[in-house]
Amino acid sequence: MTNRAFNFNAGPAAMPLEVLEQAQAEMLDFKGTGMSVMEMSHRSKEFESVIQTAEADLRQLLGIPANYKVMFLQGGATLQFAMLPMNLRPASASADYIVTGVWGQTAIKEAKKLGTARAAASTEAEGFKSIPEKLDLDPSAAYLHFTSNETIHGVEYFNEPTPSADVPLVCDASSDFISHPIDVSKYGLIYAGAQKNAGPSGVTIVIVREDLLERTPANLPVMLDYKTLAASGSLHNTPPSFSVYIVGLVFKWALKVGGLAAIEKTNRIKADLVYKAIDNSGGFYNGPVQPAARSVMNVPFRLPSEELEEAFVKESQKAGLIGLKGHRSVGGIRASLYNAVSVEAVQALTNFMAEFQRQNG
Ligand SMILES: Cc1ncc(COP(=O)(O)O)c(C=O)c1O
């Protein structure tokens, strides 16, 4: 078998081996068409089936109610930071944001360029280590936005915040999408770049309650217009067809391994292994996030010095553990434990952590 790295990259990230193998097997001849999905017309019946099956499988996986539309868009989650207020916030209205890390901060900054947005809470002053207990909600806000998992700071929501009555809840779920079950009916809109749990970069999934599409103003450029894009079944123009195909294979894989409840169970086992390694290290490894908000997906931690952190990254790479360097804005170490990262990979990491401490502690 090909030598596969233990991949802890934050995104693009590890893919399920079975998905890669299936894509490889179908690369030259997808279902008797004599071509790869990337070579076929996005208007062909074969591709139509690819995108419709991907949507149907995602609907089953997340239990998406019938009154929600699913879109496969481009521009990453970053484009959603702008599309969201353009579509869902009327010109005279304000939108609320809960800021628990860099991504929430980036989202509100983008929303402010285009109109009024306010922070209903921010944990910035304490260094983004927790979920805020109190929210200062605007009852007339166009929506309440939160980031379910802050990929850089490793802060995750395990229960959605509660908005004021009739204020739709909007979630940037980029880094914990399909990592555990959620109740979609609590949300007005969910968006996620695919390149962590759902597949390759190039496609962004948007799930939106149908009635909210009526807010889209008439004068938006078409590629920024949820209403038109949803009505076209994500086929207004050429979609990122190969990325959609791979994302569809990932949804099938997720169903096959038992769905989101089974995936969550494995993810919790993996996260527990790493947090235990941190907590049992006598302070050699130090996780900054408050226990109740510790992310199951991204585990940031520090060592006693930057020199030791540098050595940890270098030696872990030599041991076949890839992608453990923390985000450049915060430093330290970060282990991303997305769905496709195996328990075996995480055990290799915790064994490495113990050995590194033995030699350097
Ligand atoms: C939570 C979150 N939101 C947004 C983004 C930006 O995503 P993209 O690069 O797809 O625009 C990221 C990227 O890592 C992220 O982790």
For ligand 1, what atom is nearest to the CA of residue 152?
Answer: 16
pLDDT tens across 270-329, in order? 999 999 999 999 999 999 999 999 999 999 999 999 999 999 999 999 999 999 999 999
**Amino acid 253: pLDDT:** 98
Cα of 79 vs centre of ligand 1, distance in Å, is 10
Share of the chain above pLDDT 70, in %: 100
Q: Residues of the chain with pLDDT > 90: what percent?
A: 99
The finding on whether 174 has its CB within 6 A of some atom of ligand 1 is yes
Q: Write the pLDDT tens digit of every residue in 54-68.
A: 999 999 999 999 999
The model's pLDDT over 174-205, given as tens digits with 9 standing for 90+, comes to 999 999 999 999 999 999 999 999 999 999 99
Q: Going by C-beta distance under 8 Å and a sequence separation of 6 or more, which residues neighbour residue 150?
A: 100, 101, 102, 103, 104, 128, 156, 175, 295, 298
Mutate to test the pocket of ligand 1, among 151, 177, 334, 338 (most ligand atoms within 8 A of CB): 151
Residue pair 1/328 in contact (Cβ under 8 Å)? The answer is no
Q: What would the mean pLDDT of 141-161 be, rounded to a whole number?
A: 98
pLDDT at 173: 98
22 lines ligand 1 (CB under 6 A): no
Q: Are strands 204-209 and 189-193 parallel, antiparallel or unpaired?
A: antiparallel
- Ligand 1 binding pocket mutation candidate from 79, 175, 191, 327 (most atoms within 8 A of CB): 175
Closest ligand 1 atom to Cα of 151: 16
The answer on pLDDT for 151 being more than 70 is: yes
The Cα–Cα gap between 285 and 308 comes to 11
Give me the half-sphere count of Cα atoms (radius 13 Å) on the Cβ side of residue 12: 9
Mutate to test the pocket of ligand 1, among 74, 78, 201 (most ligand atoms within 8 A of CB): 78
Mean per-residue pLDDT, 247-266: 98
Q: What is the position in ligand 1's atom list of the atom closest to the CA of 147?
A: 1
- Collect contacts of 50-54 with beta carbons under 8 A, ≥24 apart: 50/241, 50/244, 50/245, 50/248, 51/233, 51/234, 51/235, 51/239, 51/241, 51/244, 51/248, 52/233, 53/248, 54/244, 54/245, 54/247, 54/248, 54/251
d(CA 330, CA 325): 10
Please give the positions annotated as active site.
103, 172, 196
CA count, 13 A, side-chain hemisphere, 283: 1
Distance 25 CA to ligand 1 centre (A): 30
Instruction: Output the CA 33–ligand 1 centroid distance in Å.
Output: 35
Structure confidence by residue, pLDDT tens digits, 35-84: 999 999 999 999 999 999 999 999 999 999 999 999 999 999 999 999 99
Q: Which residues pair with 169 in a beta bridge?
A: 144
The pLDDT of residue 2? 72
- Distance between Cα 78 and ligand 1 center (Å): 6
175 lines ligand 1 (CB under 6 A): yes
Confidence of residue 1 (pLDDT cuts 50, 70, 90): low
pLDDT digits (tens, 9 = 90+) for 214-225: 999 999 999 999
DSSP H or E run through 190: strand 189-193
* Cβ atoms < 10 Å from Cβ of 347: 13
Residue 241 binned pLDDT confidence (cut-offs 50, 70, 90): very high
Short-list 44, 42, 39, CA closest to 72: 42
Minimum-distance ligand 1 atom for the alpha carbon of 201? 10
Of all protein residues, the one whose alpha carbon is nearest to atom 15 of ligand 1 is 174
CB-ligand 1 contact for 157 (6 Å cutoff): no
SS3 97: strand
Assess whether the C-beta atom of 176 lies below 6 angstroms from ligand 1: no
Q: What pLDDT does 64 receive?
A: 98
224: helix, coil or strand? helix
240 lines ligand 1 (CB under 6 A): no
Rounded distance from Cα 11 to ligand 1 centre (Å): 9
Q: Is 100 in the pocket of ligand 1 (CB under 6 A)?
A: no
Torsion angle of the four alpha carbons 325, 331, 335, 338, in this order, in degrees rounded to the nearest 10:
-100
- Calpha distance 142→210 (Å, rounded): 15
Q: In the numeric block, which tokens belong to residue 184?
A: 């979609």
- The C-alpha torsion from 157 through 8 and 129 to 303, rounded to 10°, is 160
Residue reference for tokens 């909007």 = 170
**Mean per-residue pLDDT for 348-355?**
98
Is the shortest distance between the CB of 78 and ligand 1 below 6 Å? yes
Q: Fill in the amino acid letter for 8.
A: F
Other Cβ atoms less than 10 A from the Cβ of 115: the count is 16
Residue matched to tokens 């599409």:
213
